[in-house]
Structure 1
Amino acid sequence: MKRLFIITTAVFLFMGSEAKNKKKATLGAGCFWCVEAVYDELQGVLSVVSGYAGGHDETPTYNEVCSGNTGHAEVCQITYDADQISFGEILAVFWSVHDPTTLNRQGADVGTQYRSVIFYHSEEQKRIAQEQIKLIGEQKLYTDPIVTEVAPLTKFYPAEAYHQEYFANNPNQPYCRMVVGPKVEKFRKLFNDQLKK
């Protein structure tokens, strides 16, 4: 019993130390199933919640957001350990797993709910996002200009329970096989050294 107590205490202390420098990032890059699946595997990320932000409706539902009438974007709120990964590194993944040059569109997903957007939590996040957009433009990494919106986060609404961990729970669903799966594979190749062990 004493040994179990010591192990439990050690685990609790370790978990507590992991969470000392927790920060949040809220990003929209098309369908939130794709974004969540990618960030779930990134080292330093503690949790990812799919949801809605940037709209005017106080009680958005998936069907309402998909109609494009609420003004919300599908987003993921990422809680990360800033001692393990920086906001800049979080954004490096963001730029790599979607097309930030297509206005209100990612592939076949069309509408303002699929817009490329960074909802910043602090002035520092705003500055980093704007600096990266400028740098990407200067380096001409894309043929077309970046159209990613950079806006303050006013409120985040978690999506319905069945959207959480959607790819993990539904890997054989057609959209997951054709769209989410390839994005996750691309991410794994690009960021192989930053994946969770």
Structure 2
Amino acid sequence: MPGINKIGLGGSCHWCTEAIFQSLKGVISVNQGWISSGDHPAEFSEAVVVEYNPDLITLETLVEIHLHTHSCTAEHSMRSKYRSAVYTFADKQAISAKRAIEQLRNDFENPVITKVIRFHSFRLNSEKYLDYYYNDPDKPFCRTFIDPKLKILLNRFSDHVNDHKLQGTASSGQ
């Protein structure tokens, strides 16, 4: 798949998910908001749409990072708002995403609940919430919830982190 690809990812707060994927090499853009699936077009969950260059970061790597930066094994009362999912735009993408999740299942003590779902539609969040982390990484929410996820990126996926992007933020230790 040459050129630019896109994938939807959901599982935790879209502010957190946005910051994670904005911090990666090969990611062109991250749109934060709500996604619905083809099975349930009226049901939206917090998620992001990530545009990426597959020559710089693979779909499999994006799925791996996604699984390791949200509670991909936890059923909880907020799962309808925070559906653990990979939203695909093509059948080939769905096959690759399912294969990646299957190959990663041994990384986790409990079964992975993340579903691969056909993308249906997207609603962008209000402009004042876009680029939430990078607009002000010192907000209490950012320090409490997003910084720990970015530290996972730095510790586990350092080869994929855009050091320039994270430079000077709380998560970089500076």
Q: TM-score range by the shorter chain?
A: 0.7 to 0.9
1:90 to 62, 69, 73: 62
- CA RMSD across the alignment: 1.7
State the partner residue of 1:12. none
Q: Secondary structure at the match of 2:92?
A: helix
- After superposition, the C-alpha distances for 1:54-109 in whole angstroms (9 at most, x for unaligned) are 2644xxxxxxxxxxxxx21111110111221211111121112112111256xxxx
Q: Secondary structure at the match of 1:181?
A: helix
State the partner residue of 2:171. none
Structure 1 residue 111: Cα displacement = 4.0
- After superposition, the C-alpha distances for 1:1-50 in whole angstroms (9 at most, x for unaligned) are xxxxxxxxxxxxxxxxxxx7011011002001111111111010011110
State the partner residue of 1:158. 124
Structure 1 residue 120: Cα displacement = 0.6
State the partner residue of 1:195. 161
- Of all paired residues, the percent bearing the same amino acid is 25
Q: Secondary structure at the match of 1:171?
A: coil
Contact 1:104/1:113, CA 8 A, preserved across alignment: no
Summarize the alignment of residues 1-197 of structure 1 with structure 2, pairs less than 5 Å apart: 21-54=3-36, 56-57=41-42, 71-104=43-76, 110-137=78-105, 140-196=106-162, 197=164
After the TM superposition, which parts of structure 1 deviate over 6 Å for at least 4 consecutive aligned residues?
Answer: none
* Runs (5+) with no aligned partner, structure 2: 165-174
- Counterpart Cα distance in 2 of 1:185 and 1:133: 22
Q: Secondary structure at the match of 1:112?
A: coil
User: How many residues in Structure 1 have an aligned counterpart in Structure 2?
Assistant: 159
Give the TM-score normalised by the residue count of structure 2.
0.84
Contact 2:20/2:150, CA 8 A, preserved across alignment: yes
Structure 1 residue 163: Cα displacement = 1.7
Give the TM-score normalised by the residue count of structure 1.
0.75
Contact 1:27/1:75, CA 8 A, preserved across alignment: yes
- After superposition, the C-alpha distances for 1:144-175 in whole angstroms (9 at most, x for unaligned) are 11111211001111111122110111322222
Structure 1 residue 176: Cα displacement = 1.1
- After superposition, the C-alpha distances for 1:111-133 in whole angstroms (9 at most, x for unaligned) are 41112111111111111121122
